[in-house]
A and B are shown apart, each in its own frame.
Chain A
């Protein structure tokens, strides 16, 4: 469709984001969905949540790496094309949060499996905190990896 072609041209220079939930409580993912609402309007900054790792520039990792993700997280990371950056959203990918205790089946932090460029603390962080963090690191980090800055 024409509209889609126009959309694609416009989106060419924007940041494509893929959310990877590797075993969290869902709270951070909900806050990421809330970012799409008109109140925060993620897309006005040229950020497009596509949820497809093969097209992603930014992987937003949430969750504390459960059994199944030990091997699969690296596979997802490899599928994303260069240049790519990884942002850890929330506490789970950074420290395992409350789950990193005796009895918990998590393998946090995420940085043991894939390189993490930026981290946003909070359980969960407010949408504005996520937004400012993505905007602070996103364009620069991608520019550093060889992509033209908008």
Chain B
């Protein structure tokens, strides 16, 4: 039989329809229906100035809103042939990593919610609040930060901002090992996670899984290593696991948090002095650029016409991750509740993923499988 889940469902944050094909209790196959949150952001951006478009890029997704603005700004900087000053690049790293931590914590907490493990859910969510405080302190808003501009960052930060941020990171670092241990070594939790929602490396490559989802299946790819700022000034290691199950995916996200904290500490320690913004005279041209969002690779292709955006196309990590989740992870799952938690472990972000809507001749929206779209 076919069991539809969603678009409104206790286990899902965002509207999306999961069609599970069941045989008894067992899930054999899953299918995903998109199209509930397509807003047509790219079309709105066309013909708008870059100053306005950056706010639209921010509102592509509420969880990884920061990385979208940074990639957008860096693409326009590449077109115009300028680079943000070193201090701005360091400040961008701090905000980016804070955003990554909160996103991973949120993703894991929703995963624990679907597992019905409320203790971990509450503890992880409580840790996240400290990071949100740090973000609000630095940028002025909790979610849509409005922090990046083409050519640098909007506001400077000084000791009065760094000190509270470091204090909050201390709190998170102190609590973090216990929470991680509870998940990693708790026998009851592990039973529901290990060997559930398996995705091998081969399948992950086929499904083009990116970010922590791909890294949990053994694909060692982190776009931060290709990023000039991270490459030149920062030292961090990529977390790779080979199991490819829910357990590995959750633990990869957990293990990336200390790396991000250490990156923030490095950035604050070695913060260079100087300007935070350079004036940019945006040229006409075309450029593409990738960045590592909390969920994986974000790619922007922008064509500008002077100050105006002529054409823009955005590729977000979730579209590949959700599809590899439906194709490979939900292939052979023992029960429906496991299927929901597997879906949550793939860290889906629907608002990101809904970038295209495919219409048939009559103009009716038919969102098809990602694999057929190619």
A adjacent to B, CB under 8 Å = yes
Query: Interface residues, chain A, CB within 8 Å of chain B?
Result: 18, 20-31, 33-34, 36-39, 50-53, 63-64, 66-69, 72, 76, 97-99, 101-106, 123-124, 126
* Alpha-carbon gap, A72 to B36, bound state (A): 10
Does the CB pair A51–B8 fall under 8 Å? yes
Q: Are B61 and A67 in contact (CB under 8 A)?
A: no
B325 CB within 8 Å of chain A: no
Shortest Cβ gap from B179 to chain A (Å):
13
Which residues of B36-59 have CB atoms within 8 Å of chain A's CB atoms?
Answer: 36-41, 43-46, 55-56, 59
Contacts of A34 in B (CB 8 A): 125, 128-129, 132
Question: A36 and B14: CB pair below 8 A?
Answer: no
B36 & A69 in contact (Cβ 8 Å cutoff): yes
Please give 13 more A-B residue pairs, beta carbons under 8 A apart, in addition to A25-B61, A26-B63, A99-B59. A20-B8, A25-B60, A25-B62, A26-B37, A29-B62, A51-B10, A66-B35, A66-B36, A68-B365, A99-B40, A103-B40, A124-B144, A126-B142
Q: Which of B234-264 contact A (CB under 8 A)?
A: none
Contact digits for B96-140, partner A, Cβ 8 Å, 1 yes 0 no: 000000000010011000000000011001101100100000000
Knowing A27-B65, A31-B142, A37-B126 are in contact, say whether A97-B59 is a contact too (CB < 8 A): yes
The B314-365 residues at the A interface (CB cut-off 8 A) are: 349-351, 357, 365
- In angstroms, how far is the closest chain B Cβ from the Cβ of A131? 14
B200 to chain A, nearest CB (A): 30
Give the complex CA separation of A107 and B78 in angstroms: 36
Complex contacts, B143 vs chain A, CB 8 Å:
27, 30-31, 124
B43 touches A26 (CB 8 A): no
Query: Is residue B13 contacting chain A, with contact meaning CB distance below 8 A?
Result: yes
Interface centre among A28, A53, A97, A126 (most CB of B within 10 A): A126
25 pairs across A/B with beta carbons < 8 Å? Answer: A18-B8, A23-B38, A25-B62, A25-B144, A25-B351, A26-B37, A26-B63, A26-B351, A27-B63, A29-B14, A30-B62, A36-B121, A36-B122, A37-B126, A37-B129, A38-B126, A52-B10, A67-B35, A99-B41, A101-B44, A103-B46, A105-B38, A105-B40, A123-B59, A124-B144
Are B106 and A30 in contact, with the CB atoms below 8 A?
yes
User: What is B's interface to A at a CB cutoff of 8 Å?
Assistant: 7-10, 12-15, 35-41, 43-46, 55-56, 59-63, 65, 106, 109-110, 121-122, 125-126, 128-129, 132, 142-144, 349-351, 357, 365
Known contacts: A33-B106, A98-B55. The answer to whether A39 contacts B126 by CB under 8 A is yes
Cβ of A23 and Cβ of B36 under 8 Å apart? yes
Q: Which 3 residue pairs are nearest across A and B when measured between Cβ atoms?
A: A27-B62, A26-B62, A103-B43
Complex formed: what's the CA distance from A52 to B125 in Å? 22
Q: Are B144 and A39 in contact (CB under 8 A)?
A: no
Alpha-carbon gap, A63 to B59, bound state (A): 11
A53-B63 contact, Cβ under 8 Å, with A29-B14, A34-B128: no
Q: Would A23 and B65 count as touching, CB distance under 8 A?
A: no
> Which residue in B10, B35, B37, B126 is a CB contact (below 8 Å) of A63?
B37
Residues of A within 8 A of B46 (CB): 103
Shortest beta-carbon distance, B359 to chain A, in Å? 10
Residues of B contacting A21 in the complex (Cβ-Cβ under 8 angstroms): 13-15, 36-37
CB neighbours (8 Å) of A31 from chain B are 142-143
- For B109, what are the chain A residues with a Cβ–Cβ distance below 8 Å? 33
Residue of A nearest to B130 (CB): A39
Residues in B neighbouring A30, C-beta threshold 8 A: 13, 62-63, 106, 143
Q: Is the CB of B8 within 8 A of A76?
A: yes
Most B C-beta atoms less than 10 A away, residue of A30, A64, A97, A102 = A30
